[in-house]
Structure 1
């Protein structure tokens, strides 16, 4: 491959490299990105390609320098045979087996390779560079000859390169630019067990290329802790792909579980384990921690007491030169290397004899409700713990200290959750659209991405202009994908460039892509992105992480070079930062709420706040780049001030002017206004005069729907009528409607709407006869019949009209004094004789003495027991021997009788 070819573009930044616009080349023709960016002058001495020889395993290998036998050597012939016969293979080899560096070199002389290149995909830039450099050393050549690498912002390749180590994102761009992968003989997916979304997508695209365009393309999936069977089924067509296993690691590793005592901080527990390891085992110590903050805390804890080793940090945010210093130390002496998961695989740290594992990892988790991806600290999987343990046995017998007990180890998940199942799918959706794949299920996946998460991602991409309404990628979307950064940030850069703010947009995108350049203490008191831009330009040292600042500058320069030549910087006013951030995060534009507290209303209707007074606290509008995702009210972590003019400039097409007639809970009335609105944010409003009555009614009905039927100001007579209708509905049915709360809520427009009239306020509802509203839909005959079916009162023998209680529609109640029923032989019935009332026969004091639906039976049996109990208590009331013959009365006997 030549460095001027554009058919194998690695990513958007690499486009500039390959056009020759940003690349410097040494005398070997090796692309040297760091030279082009003004870093150290790296040149390579003359080197001779050593002829191919036969390895001790009997398989042809190039002559390797300082290459002792490794476990992988014994299975290389099997891998070569599988690729020659089937074209696919799964390789499972323990840490230290040598698969990353030996297997690609073993394939250099495979007959099927011809002049094609072998691509090796690594999940991390550090691993890619380390693997390429190790293979080049084995060949006795500089990196960039037969073995090269290509990672973001750094590449060593030349026309002579035949083994090229890439990161996964660069491979995705390569397939997008040339789905046939012309000139590529094989693709090796290393450390596939980590299941990054990039590796899943890369494998799916490679399988599609092999199935449709390149049946001769060889594919190998490799890992130390891979669950091989599902991968083999995915790679195979009619039968699973061959699985080749390299048993055992070269050097044994013992394991000890030492959980910290209760109350001991993790940093102190790790520091104690490190000191113990140095005393008991010697050698270098590699410590695994979840993130940079933990690395720094443990370093501080180790510095509290003298330590017989120097402490070094290793993480992905380090500059390449700093990573190199850790991987290839120039100073002799014992080391303690505090690392994130970056050292988990594909990296050999010579001298490491002990691994101390805190058992934690930081993983991205996407919250579909908030639209935010947050890093969460979780327990590692058993597979990851095994990978970490294996780092101690790469070059000699080792020891692993796990800061958890064996019971906890058994409860760890077997494998990590694939990233494709829990991360933001917007980048994936954009790549699929660029590949012309509207349906993700058209590809072969180990885990099919969620249809719901993809739909949400595509909705965002449509908002950013990356996808048309029909789901096809737009020219803007292709330009976004070519930049090789997150879709939101790519949109920011491209739109900023068209507005004459190319450099400012690149600076903002680089700042947002990197961890905050402010240290935690400074960041907590100032969430303003503008102060970061100023620090980036001035090089402020106070509160700034200088290493991160340099990385951001490097990224910003690379993005600027990747833009078209016509992009210009006519307007660089820092006040435009808010507008640019709004372009990237249109869903996180916020308006300050009234009051003294720094609380904001987001465009999506949710709340956000500053936890303390900030320089931005009084801003009328914000464009928020980072929130903590709290579902109640999110904490604002990073934002930029946004005035109304900038907001309109950024969101003009999305601002809607609507006639807004809605219920206002604060004033308990319908509010009619014309509103300029951006989602939940109201920009302008004025009163409406020409409002249709139906609009008022709809707003009132909406208020009732939210408050519930019970909130209506029912009069007693309305409630009784509603109960009678409910009785008729139960025992007769049509045309009497269901008047339960649920049914009335479902039909508010039908029964309540016509009764609202000129009502505008909640107090106006008190004048509405809700009972009449319930009867309004009934024909006149049905209303008349209701009086027969469910009369309001029943007359008893005393002449009294007693109200019927229909609260229990199954068993209406007639509560009446016993003496008023003398002579009543049968229980009164309702619903045209269908339903007997439940008689509550009362004492003279109004207390129930008998409940019955069979009055005749009561007179025969129960009456005499009641008479015996009550006659002495109420002597002035009649207690006849024959109640059916006695006159009914509501009065007591006169005194003295």
Structure 2
């Protein structure tokens, strides 16, 4: 039922977006939302409201302005929550201008490092994080009559958290109203959910206003070559543009590649970039109309919603986005480049039709749109939840007692609990005094821990902490290599780094101190350990290993050989087993010996001596998975210690020391597919991840072995099967079978180990009579084919059998019928009989 509703909602979204508004920054035309203003006001008198309005309807500007003009707010101040700082500032400026005022009068805004409001402010536009801080300071939101969550479809962590906390306030404030506004999420589903939570809610829908958009499909030569093929599509788009081209790419790396490709663009083309790391001023410059020429904007999905860029009549959509997926195992956020959702594709295309007819170029096949996910995965199911969990603990309500449109991931919550414990922000589940202090800083917990530590140190160390955190937050300019060197060079600069300087002043005020001439950079390692204790890295056999167990690859600037490091900035990209180090600080590991920390543990274990030796028992002091000190221990070695010693040795040697085979590879690949189908992380089912967690699932088998040679006979498949639930086992058998019966009657093994799609290798004649590619998992996966010649050589690989018959088959038939004349090569293969036999054998078989 849920899938059906989402599909219907998506179709309705595309239909509504066929007719929409010119940019609100350059138009005073009547907006679609004006037709439902009276209905919204009438509903707010007794109900909360869910407003579903297609892009261009004017919900962010016309609706709050009308409430100001008609009602001077709504039973108090209106809080309008925007997901991005530049959007909050732009909306406030625009609405104020429409009222003939400047920001700070009836319309104000409050974002990080900047606020503009007064006692007369009736509409306050804020970012999501600022709203969370407002709630923590004043849980009853005194003086506020209406809270509007704009762009809720983006599903950021703070929007979900803010809504959950706001709903928790409603029993204390019967007069407070909540309005949730979304462009793509099905509003009626949100209304139903709010009603189920006991909040009377009215649903209102508004049309958008958008001019016709012509869609062009330009699939890349291969999936891997999309970025190389993109410039040619952009050049084609420029030939069709009357005003400008907006190009959507996943991240800054791709933006830089495109900027280089268009470094010698024609004089009339002004090349710009738009992404979250720019200053407010730099982002606003992109929003300014051009007096002449063409605008060419390379942007991330920051330009997908919230922001309206003038002078755009052509969109080029790469179809990709950079998505963050937190790995609880390593304490890192892995960035992966993935295809966007259908809702995002609609949003992006809509940017071309704001002021007139437009064009949208898509870097995928025409039929590929229907295979995209309907909506993106909300952040609360894939990002680090440590900040969110600490906010909840300070709020005083358990996670399960709050109303969540999407409940937080249990695995991510468990990881967040451990992270808060390691930061000493909680003890036995309760917030410590240190934890309360971390929340007040309103920054990443790592940085907040550094600031909290500095309060107990000298003024010079407090200034160092302020300078360190300001630089880490803003990442302004080139900021890689040795941290102490970079910080010292920046400290000596007399100008530049305006964002960093503003943030530095903020932290000086927060700590209540004044600048000093010189900073005690020698204290940097000890200070960093307060927030980056899990980022300690030890040199091991030519590379580094983190305290979490993750391996590190060096970036452009390599640290001195043999130094222990604190890995300050690390990136973990898609399908990489090792993280890449970008910013580090060297330190003496003796500092760790003098520290007391949850990561510092003492234990007794067994260890194998060399390649041929036996087991010995030792006492170990460790920092996470790094060994600080070992001493010989007395006593007999237990079976449990022997099993763990085997696990340690096997982890170093790899699965090649066991009887691991294709069967294990297949099982793990099927489980990865199943996890993805269930919208869960598949990371735990890689061979590397299973090896890292060996004791947690294989110890009952390992303790039965006496020697390392016993591992050669061990096939882990039986142990792996114990890891899955009965429901998963049933889904695996039903959705992802190990074999597929071809129309020829023969059964073939399905190979799930490929990265793109499961496939079967079989003779081409065996799929005669099959008009289109079969599917798995109730139609969620398409089965690909490696179509072989009668001699078993690969002729063609396809996941679109219908397209193969129509386009490639005539050429294949022409070439193969002369080479293999004894085998059937019919002109109409969809009507032919499937077989693995020669024509003579097939004729004998028939009666």
TM-score between both structures, scaled by the size of structure 1: 0.65
SS state at 1:285 partner: strand
In 2, are the aligned partners of 1:188 and 1:219 still within 8 Å (CA)? Answer: yes
1:491 aligns with 2:462: no
1:518 aligns with 2:472: no
CA shift in 2, pair 1:762/1:117, >3 Å: closer
Supply the distance in 1 between the matched residues of 2:234 and 2:388 (Cα, whole angstroms): 41
SS state at 1:242 partner: strand
**1:743-782 superposed matches below 5 A:** none
SS state at 1:73 partner: helix
Unaligned runs of 5+ in 2: 1-24, 651-656, 658-697, 710-847
CA shift in 2, pair 1:744/1:449, >3 Å: closer
Q: 1:449 aligned to 396, 408, 415, which one?
A: 408
- Equivalent position of 1:585 in the other structure: 532
**1:207-246 superposed matches below 5 A:** 207-210=167-170, 212-236=171-195, 241-246=201-206
Supply the distance in 2 between the matched residues of 1:601 and 1:287 (Cα, whole angstroms): 39
- Equivalent position of 2:84 in the other structure: 124
- The Cα of 1:480 is off from its aligned counterpart by 1.1
**1:104-503 superposed matches below 5 A:** 104-108=64-68, 113=73, 116-210=76-170, 212-236=171-195, 241-262=201-222, 266-267=226-227, 269-306=229-266, 308-329=268-289, 332-437=292-397, 439-469=398-428, 471-500=429-458, 501-503=461-463
**1:786-801 superposed matches below 5 A:** none
CA shift in 2, pair 1:650/1:514, >3 Å: farther
- The Cα of 1:99 is off from its aligned counterpart by 0.7
Q: CA RMSD in A?
A: 3.4
- Equivalent position of 1:554 in the other structure: 502
In 2, are the aligned partners of 1:582 and 1:650 still within 8 Å (CA)? Answer: no
- Equivalent position of 2:11 in the other structure: none
CA shift in 2, pair 1:569/1:480, >3 Å: farther
- Equivalent position of 2:33 in the other structure: 72
- Equivalent position of 2:690 in the other structure: none
CA shift in 2, pair 1:450/1:653, >3 Å: closer
Write out per-residue CA displacement over residues 67-91 of structure 1, whole angstroms, 9 at most, x where no aligned residue: 32111110111111111121x1111
In 2, are the aligned partners of 1:360 and 1:380 still within 8 Å (CA)? Answer: yes
Supply the distance in 1 between the matched residues of 2:640 and 2:399 (Cα, whole angstroms): 42
CA shift in 2, pair 1:160/1:570, >3 Å: same
CA shift in 2, pair 1:700/1:133, >3 Å: closer
Supply the distance in 2 between the matched residues of 1:444 and 1:568 (Cα, whole angstroms): 45
- Equivalent position of 1:31 in the other structure: none
CA shift in 2, pair 1:329/1:571, >3 Å: same
- The Cα of 1:637 is off from its aligned counterpart by 3.2
CA shift in 2, pair 1:331/1:266, >3 Å: farther
1:619 aligns with 2:563: yes
In 1, are the aligned partners of 2:476 and 2:500 still within 8 Å (CA)? Answer: no
SS state at 1:498 partner: coil
Supply the distance in 2 between the matched residues of 1:158 and 1:294 (Cα, whole angstroms): 42
1:574 aligns with 2:521: yes
In 2, are the aligned partners of 1:359 and 1:385 still within 8 Å (CA)? Answer: yes
Supply the distance in 1 between the matched residues of 2:704 and 2:235 (Cα, whole angstroms): 74
SS state at 1:100 partner: coil
- The Cα of 1:368 is off from its aligned counterpart by 1.9
In 2, are the aligned partners of 1:284 and 1:351 still within 8 Å (CA)? Answer: yes
Write out per-residue CA displacement over residues 593-642 of structure 1, whole angstroms, 9 at most, x where no aligned residue: 2x5x2x23332344334378813332045455425277754433332112
Q: 2:483 aligned to 508, 511, 529, which one?
A: 529
Supply the distance in 1 between the matched residues of 2:699 and 2:259 (Cα, whole angstroms): 66
- The Cα of 1:299 is off from its aligned counterpart by 2.0
- The Cα of 1:92 is off from its aligned counterpart by 1.3
- The Cα of 1:268 is off from its aligned counterpart by 5.5
> Which shows bigger deviation, 621-630 or 313-322?
621-630
CA shift in 2, pair 1:673/1:181, >3 Å: same
- The Cα of 1:362 is off from its aligned counterpart by 1.6
- The Cα of 1:199 is off from its aligned counterpart by 0.7
- Equivalent position of 2:572 in the other structure: 628
Supply the distance in 1 between the matched residues of 2:266 and 2:104 (Cα, whole angstroms): 43
CA shift in 2, pair 1:655/1:743, >3 Å: closer
CA shift in 2, pair 1:263/1:571, >3 Å: same
In 2, are the aligned partners of 1:424 and 1:457 still within 8 Å (CA)? Answer: yes
- The Cα of 1:131 is off from its aligned counterpart by 0.9
In 2, are the aligned partners of 1:616 and 1:640 still within 8 Å (CA)? Answer: no
Write out per-residue CA displacement over residues 474-524 of structure 1, whole angstroms, 9 at most, x where no aligned residue: 2221221121111122112221342332222233333333447427xxx5x
In 2, are the aligned partners of 1:132 and 1:149 still within 8 Å (CA)? Answer: yes
Supply the distance in 2 between the matched residues of 1:254 and 1:747 (Cα, whole angstroms): 65
- The Cα of 1:328 is off from its aligned counterpart by 2.2
Q: 2:546 aligned to 602, 609, 612, which one?
A: 602
Unaligned runs of 5+ in 1: 1-63, 712-741, 753-760, 764-897
In 1, are the aligned partners of 2:422 and 2:597 still within 8 Å (CA)? Answer: no
1:680 aligns with 2:638: no
SS state at 1:137 partner: helix
Supply the distance in 2 between the matched residues of 1:705 and 1:660 (Cα, whole angstroms): 12
CA shift in 2, pair 1:605/1:280, >3 Å: closer
- The Cα of 1:188 is off from its aligned counterpart by 0.7
- The Cα of 1:122 is off from its aligned counterpart by 0.7
SS state at 1:401 partner: strand
**1:665-676 superposed matches below 5 A:** 665-666=610-611, 668-676=613-621
- The Cα of 1:232 is off from its aligned counterpart by 0.5
Supply the distance in 1 between the matched residues of 2:26 and 2:597 (Cα, whole angstroms): 64
In 2, are the aligned partners of 1:622 and 1:641 still within 8 Å (CA)? Answer: yes
Write out per-residue CA displacement over residues 358-399 of structure 1, whole angstroms, 9 at most, x where no aligned residue: 222122111122111133222111111111222222233332
- The Cα of 1:219 is off from its aligned counterpart by 0.9
Supply the distance in 2 between the matched residues of 1:647 and 1:514 (Cα, whole angstroms): 29
Supply the distance in 2 between the matched residues of 1:701 and 1:234 (Cα, whole angstroms): 49
- Equivalent position of 1:808 in the other structure: none
1:99 aligns with 2:59: yes
SS state at 1:628 partner: strand
**What is the number of residues matched between the two proteins?**
635
